[in-house]
Structure 1
Amino acid sequence: MSARRPGGVAAGTTAKPGVDVGRPGAAVGARPMRQRWSLWLMGGLVLAYVVGVMLPDSGFNPFVDGFLALVSVWACVAVCWAAAYRTGRGRRFGGGRREGHGRPEVLLAAAAVTANTLADTVELIQRGTGFSTFPSSADPAYLLFYAFLLASLGVLVRRQLRGSAGAMILDTIVGSLGAASILTVFLSPVLNAAAAEPASLGTAVAIAYPMLDLLILAAVAGIVASHGSEPGHRWILLISGLLIFAGADLVFALAPLSYVIGTPLDATWTVAIALITLWVDRSGAPRSTSSRAGGSVSAVAVPAVSILAGLGVLILASQVQVSGLAVVLAALTLGVATIPLIGRQQVLRVLSRTDDLTRLPNRRAFYADVPGRLGAIDSGRRSALLLLDLDRFKEVNDSLGHDVGDRLLVQVGVRLAGQLRATDLLARLGGDEFAVLLANSGHDEAVVVAGKLRAALAEPFLLEGITLHSSASMGIAVHPDQGNDVTSLMRKADMAMYKAKSTRSGHHVYHSDDDSHGDVRLRTLQELRSAIADDELVLHYQPKVALATGNVQGVEALVRWNHPTRGLLLPEHFLELVEEAGLMHALTQIVLSKALDQAVLWRAQGEPLTVAVNLSAGSLVDRDLPDRIGAMITSRGLPASVLTLEVTEEFLLNDRERARDILTRLRALGIRIAVDDFGTGYSSLAYLRDLPIDELKLDQSFVFPMINDERAATLVSSAIALAHSLGLQMVAEGVENSVAYNDLVRFGCDSAQGYLVSRPVPAEELGAWLADRKVTTMVRGDS
């Protein structure tokens, strides 16, 4: 077999051009100008090369077939690596991709295109020096291209099939086998001729290329079958590029000896690479998390066409000589296609009762099986129903993406199952909600199991290098005391679960008083959603004074709910509901906007006060938060130092790597970082050394007892000394009497806030308070 020159570079090799893969993303028009210009440059070079090849010439043109051909494919390499860099940067800094992870298929595809282009370059050099053989020294790089490309497609297909039902997996296999059987028919002359030649390295290489093309086309068919109705324009780029690429290889493989340099066939390979490179470039944007429609047209059409293809190949094989491999593949296509027909009703029944993601029984199965289990319980014995809901799970989906959320749910299901007996029934009801029916278990046994389940979920989850801490709230209803059927038990377990959430007790056994609590909770939750939409949330500000001078340095912004009927509500009355309903991101945005707007007004009035805002651990899961805060500050013309963000030790201690990433990016903007409620944690204080922190806020539980407790005073003095030794400032919270104030001055504490200074007040009252304080200071100075 003669060799062919990929991309119009050099003759005399079985070389092949590269393909890149990634994930679909945002339209090019939404990208920065630099990225758009790189795409326009690549497109211009490819277009110039294609036009040059189409023009009539007398053979090899050094400029078109040499220089322009190489520049165009190297431009594709540059675009691919730029996309790979963006996805890697997204994993480290949260840029662009909401899931927060790098994409291995993009890196593999960029490596594939690079290997192919290096081989093209080697071939051009060999042609220029007059040294060209087959197999060529470029062939290892071309084969490496295939290895990278197929690995990339494998990652892609694996992701598409994750969580899929068995029927979709079978459809994917059928689609791949059918496409492979058709391609093998076209390659039969090549395969038969190669098989007839004596065994040699050249023969092995000659057979390898068409076989690898066969695998690529099979992978394309698998992608189409597994992706359902989701492909759209971005997937068309990938699929079109791969089909054009494999088609060009097929044309060359059927007539290698008639191949001539500088023909449109050369341009075909480069166009294919360019199409796939465009698809790779778009992989830097967030991937759609919409579900795949298993009943879509493409999901049904691909297997159907593949079955017809397999039948056609077998019929053709009975009339003419085709490759034995084509017959085997066609037979496998039909064989796999018949699997769903064997016990189809049983398979459909199992699938309809199984959760696609976790493979646990679903809601339908739970409601169908529980009545029989309740009726089979021994006389005088009881059972318990546990309803479990993950805390703040919506924040995981919103901040890290549904892909990470799905993986967390799978691991949660595994851990729960590991703590239960074979006689217990575990099901995923939907979303982040699980149910457990404990056989022959009463109140006490159910409480013990709830503790075991919570302990199992308290262990950190490691998902693609990210450490996640999860917790759950559980409601318990006991049969027959609190219901004789699954509906009543579920209703009461649901009310008990929300009681557990509101009290943060972890689990709660249903009591008759919980009925009214459930109604109040639902009403308050609806009112809270309206409050956010109708701007009923307001901020009060508590000033902080410098103990050395008595001057007001800044304020802490504290959120309040101006309820239309219940009056002004403090955070303890609604923050738990905010977290439970997944509204913490919206609340954080409101508080930051109001606080920064007020800072602008104060500066205009000649009061350059700094503003401190509390951030929950859930808010800091969002890797895009630093960029959003920076944009909010810049849009208001404020210096970044005007804002101090107060974070809890919980966030710092639970995930040190994430804390370092987020805090470093915030600190780089000029925003100050404070640790709120310092001293209440129970872990190592090494984070004070490792993390970018500016100040510590000593919890009021240490300040209150200083008057009568010498040990408490010693702890406060030591904490202040520790902060200063690390170059940090110390702020004391909860200062309510002059004795504590004077002790803090004596200990060298930097700042203080508390009722002795001022209660949290609206911005208007704070302005009057500041004015009165200035007058008092002036009077004292005059006297």
Structure 2
Amino acid sequence: MSRRPLRATVAIAIPLGFTVALTVALLVGGKSAAVVLFDDTVSFGLALYATACAALAARAAQDRLRRTWATMAVALGAWSLGDGLWLVYELVPGVEPTTPSAADVFYLLFAVLLVAAFAQLITTATHQGRLRLLLDAITVALCLFLLAWVLALNSVVVTYREDRAALAVAFLYPVFDMIALTIAVVVLVRAEARQRGMLTVLTLAVTLMTIADSAFAHLTAGERYSTGDLIDVLWAASLTAFAAAAVLSRAAHEPRTVVALPSTSSLWLPYVPLLLAGTIGPPLVMSGLERFLVPAIVVAVCARQIVSAWENRRLLAAAAEQALRDPLTGLANRTLFSDRLAHAMALRARDDRSVAVISVDLDDFKLVNDSLGHPAADNLLVQAGQRIAECIRPGDTAARIGGDEFALLLESRSDDSDVVAQRVLNAFSSPFWIDGDDMLIRPSIGVARALPTQPDLDPDTLMKRADIAMYAAKRSRVAQVNTFHDDMMMSDPDAVERAEQADRPSGEGAAQIRLLGELRAAIDHHALEVVYQPKIDLRTGQLAGVEALLRWPHPTLGTLRPDTFLPLVRQHGLMRPVTDFVVDRALSDAAGWARLGAPIPVAINLFAPFLRDTDLPRTLDHRLADHGLRADILTVEITEDLVLSEVDTAATVLHRLRQLGVRVAIDDFGSGYSALSYLRDLPIDEIKLDRHFIAHVTTNPKAAAVVEAVINLTHTLGITVVAEGVEDAETAGWLAAHHCDIAQGYHYGRPTTASMVPRLIAGAAAGA
């Protein structure tokens, strides 16, 4: 048990123990002087204790509840003064209280202030609500008064008919109590869940006070009351309940609920006074058959009203549930998610639990919406919502918070957010069936955690952090989970805004969707092609190898180069099948050339995220073996600006490739920002100088100096230099003169088909 509930339990147990002790003393000791003194002392102590608890509750509360408890503290303070004076009457010999006494002034002040305190709890927003509140109050008040009149007040009026002062005092106690009890009942039945426990105990306190005051008036009228009577236990129990309600008010930490349903007690509690008055009163004042018929009628009417109220509550609960659910996916909506997040954050420090928010956004959803229409987009959202909901654990919350944005709330003693987030990512690995076509949609996923050691973290900040991490994942264009860290805001404060802008589709969305469908069909039917560009050894003029390049012979648009369709391949998770196709085709062609007696090295471009796959070396080794090729016939080219974030993992994979004999090349060297660091950190066999450097070596001295310096540096490191984009003889001559190793470009030949590659050997020899 945490410290806060333990302290609350102790605070309630203390006055309860004294009340039990007083009950035992009155039952065992009778009305001896010691018992009477103990009675007065315990009553005075409980009054002071209840006053202190109410004052502490007022300090901890806010707004209307603070005013209620402040008034309650003053009221209980007045009761304490009354009990203090009564204790003086008992202790000081010869001091006898008059009727009414000075203590009665403070007791009456308590009754008035008690009504004022409860009156501040009354709140309702509509005219219909105020009318229902008024009718409930009238019903409860009249029934309570009727019951008290039949049982006690009638005899009080008869006894004190001639003594108006005594009649007023004896009569006003229970009347003010019944007013406070009426307010307590009507407030309780419409209270929010977070306040019902405290208000129930308060209502119990006033109920006990009302019974005690009514019994006191009745016994006093018959001159049968003296200190030490058992009704003193009712006052003690009432003060204990006031103290307990104050403690419960301080211990409550639940946030405001989103939709406040009427409590179950609201269905029957307003009818309890009517049942009591209608079943107890008639037998006391009636005779004959009516003394049985009237109670039966009252019970039937009350039962009928309760059944109707129960049905109305069920319908209201169904409506409230719909108001908190996304109508399309059936998941929680933003309102319910925000409420549960606030609740989880309020409880995490007290219960030592971890809270995590996972933000999920569907990439290119707007493209689908604008191109295929709203029905197709809605279908996608429904399927995505189902997959996300299947990934969470019991007790977690999955919500659609707007558009294509989803959020998950995870609450547990241990932090499993990474496991759940990866489960969501894996759920999107299979395609969605949209308008008769399979479509791979990739999610961007961000995770933010709130640990119990972060007490100052609020729900809005946690949600914002999850969004920032999600937008970071969206910018990376890599299917992975991003977890928030402080550097995300420090390094790029405008990240969220730019990510939102980047997600907006262009006006060519419909064309892109159509092209995507055609691309999927081309991949499925192996309709893509691989062509080969020669690589020439500048020292000998001989063919040093070829680079495999992808082409798409589109039936209407002609042959498309990779820069036209590779963005779609990357965005929609098609890189794996495309890469598999290129590798198999290139190795198959290389095996064919080898059978013709012309073993020609071949280079393939590898999408950089594949370097996270530690099985890549084993996979390539098996494919080389399947085609009967040595590993040194294959060169893997990776684009340097895509490896920056994962150098360590990439280095491990590349080392294993080189151990097999596969060569490793950095493509477009110099186009990124970390070229030199790759020479240091990665196992590289060759670099391919970007065509933008090569194009100006004969006209720009600075470009020539940079290329010459790179050639000298890489030769020092034992790395081969390949020049891309060589378009003329003058550039080729400059590169040869400066000891560049290999060159490729239109000066040596355009990409050609596999069947033409063996002829390149003879052509290169003739050119040399």
TM-score class, shorter: 0.3 to 0.5
| Structure possessing the higher relative contact order (Cα contacts under 8 Å, 6 or more residues apart) | 1
Tell me the TM-score normalised to structure 2 length.
0.42
Give 1 or 2 for the bigger CA radius of gyration: 2
